[in-house]
Chains A and B, each alone.
Chain A
Amino acid sequence: MKWLKNLIRPEPLVLGNGKIVQPKMSIMVILVPIFIVAILFSAYIIEFDIFILLRRGYQFFVIVGRMIPPDWSYFPEVIGPLVETIMMSIFGTLLGAFLSLPLAFLSSDNIIKNKVFLWTNRMVVSLFRTLPILIFAFILKYIFGIGTFAGTLAIALFTWLIMTKMLYEIIETVDMGPFEAIESSGASRLRAFIVSIVPQILGQYISIALYNFEMNVRSAAILGYVGAGGIGLLLNEKLGWRRYDQVGLILFALLVTVYVIESISRLIRTRLS
Chain B
Amino acid sequence: MIQFKNVVKTYPGGVQALKGINLTIEQGEFVAIIGLSGAGKSTLIRSINQMHQITGGELIVDGQDVSKLSGEALRRFRRNIGMVFQSFNLVKRTTVIKNVLAARVADMPLWKSMLGIYSKSDKILALEALDKVGILEKAYVRADMLSGGQQQRVALARCLAQKPQIILADEPVASLDPLTSQQVMEDFVKVNRDLNITVIANMHHVDIATKYSKRIIGIKAGEIVFDGPSSELTNDHLTEIYGRNLQRDDFMGVE
Q: Give the interface of A toward B (CB within 8 A).
A: 13-17, 19, 21, 23-24
In the bound complex, CA of A13 to CA of B120 (Å)? 8
**When the two chains form their complex, are residues B124 and A19 in contact, meaning their CB atoms are under 8 A apart?**
no
Whether the pair A19, B131 counts as a contact (CB closer than 8 A) is: yes
Residues on the A chain within 8 Å of B128, using CB: 15-17
Q: B106: shortest Cβ distance to chain A, in Å?
A: 22
Contact assessment for B124 and A24 in the assembled complex, using a CB-CB cutoff below 8 Å: no
Complex Cα spacing A19 to B120, Å: 15
Shortest CB-to-CB span from A32 to chain B, Å, is 13
Shortest CB-to-CB span from B219 to chain A, Å, is 39
Which of A14, A15, A17, A19: most chain B Cβ within 10 A?
A: A15
Complex-state Cα separation, A135 to B30, whole angstroms: 72
A7 to chain B, nearest CB (A): 12
Q: How far is the CA of A14 from the CA of B127 in the complex (A)?
A: 9
Chain A interface, DSSP helix/strand/loop, else mixed: loop
Asked whether, in the complex, the Cβ of B127 is within 8 Å of the Cβ of A13, the reply is yes
Distance between Cα atoms of A17 and B128 in the complex (Å) = 8
Residues of B within 8 A of A19 (CB): 127, 131, 136
**Bound state CA distance, A13 and B122, in angstroms?**
11
Query: Which of B's residues lie within 8 Å of A, judged by CB?
Result: 97, 120, 123-124, 127-128, 131, 136, 139-140
User: Which 4 pairs between the two chains have the least Cβ-Cβ distance?
Assistant: A24-B140, A15-B128, A13-B124, A21-B127
Taking the nearest CB of chain B, how far is it from the CB of A265, in angstroms?
Answer: 33
How near does chain B come to A269, taking the closest CB pair, in angstroms? 30
| Interface contact A15-B124, CB-CB below 8 Å | yes
CB distance from B163 to the nearest CB of A (A): 13
17 A-B contacts, Cβ less than 8 Å apart? Answer: A13-B127, A14-B124, A15-B124, A15-B127, A15-B128, A15-B131, A16-B124, A17-B128, A17-B131, A19-B127, A19-B131, A19-B136, A21-B127, A21-B139, A23-B123, A23-B140, A24-B140
Contacts of B140 in A (CB 8 A): 23-24
Give 14 A-B pairs besides A16-B128, A21-B136 with Cβ atoms closer than 8 angstroms.
Answer: A13-B120, A13-B123, A13-B124, A14-B124, A15-B124, A15-B127, A16-B124, A17-B128, A19-B127, A19-B131, A19-B136, A23-B123, A23-B140, A24-B140
Chain A residues contacting B131 (CB-CB under 8 Å) are: 15, 17, 19
A15 contact set on B, CB distance < 8 A: 124, 127-128, 131
List residues of chain A with CB within 8 A of the CB of B123: 13, 23
Give the distance in Å from the alpha carbon of A24 to the alpha carbon of B140 in the complex: 7
Chain A residue numbers with a CB within 8 Å of B136 are 19, 21
Cα A262 to Cα B120 with chains together (Å): 55
Contacts of A24 in B (CB 8 A): 140
Min CB distance A25 to B, Å, is 10
Kindly provide the distance from the CB of B192 to the nearest chain A CB, expressed in whole angstroms: 20
| A35 CB, nearest partner CB in chain B, Å | 17
A16: nearest chain-B partner, CB-CB: B128
A133 → chain B, closest Cβ, in Å?
35
In the complex, the chain A residue whose C-beta lies closest to that of B95 is A24
Question: Distance in Å from the Cβ of A5 to the closest Cβ of chain B?
Answer: 15
Closest to A22 in B: B140
Query: Which residues of B sit under 8 angstroms from A16, Cβ to Cβ?
Result: 124, 128
B183 to chain A, nearest CB (A): 21
CA distance in complex: A17, B129 (Å): 12
Most A-side CB within 10 Å, residue of B97, B123, B127, B136: B127
Closest residue of chain A to B139 (Cβ to Cβ) is A21
User: Nearest Cβ in chain A — how far from B200, in angstroms?
Assistant: 27
Q: How far is the CB of A30 from chain B (nearest CB, A)?
A: 16
In whole angstroms, how far apart are the Cα atoms of A16 and B123 in the complex? 12
Give Cα A198–Cα B6 distance, bound, in whole angstroms: 69
Instruction: Find chain B residues with CB under 8 A from A14 CB.
Output: 124
**Cα of A19 to Cα of B127 in the assembled complex, Å:** 10
Q: How far is the CA of A85 from the CA of B120 in the complex (A)?
A: 64
Q: Which residue of B lies closest to A17 (CB)?
A: B131
CA distance A15 to B136 in the complex (A): 11
Min CB distance, A19 to chain B, in Å? 6
State the CA gap A24–B123 with chains docked (Å).
12
Give the CA-CA distance A23 to B124 in the complex, in Å.
11
In the assembled complex, the Cα of A18 lies from the Cα of B97 at a distance in Å of: 19
Given the complex of chains A and B, what is the CA–CA distance between A142 and B234 in angstroms? 90
Which residue of chain A is the closest to B132 with respect to CB atoms? A17
Q: Which residues of B contact A13 (CB under 8 A)?
A: 120, 123-124, 127
Shortest C-beta distance, A71 to chain B (Å), equals 50
Residue of A nearest to B137 (CB): A21
A13 to B128, CA, bound (A): 10
Q: Residue of A at shortest CB range from B97?
A: A23
A19 to B135, CA, bound (A): 13
- Shortest B18–chain A CB gap in Å is 40
Minimum C-beta distance from B95 to chain A (A): 8
User: In the complex, what distance in Å separates the CA atom of A108 from the CA atom of B123?
Assistant: 51
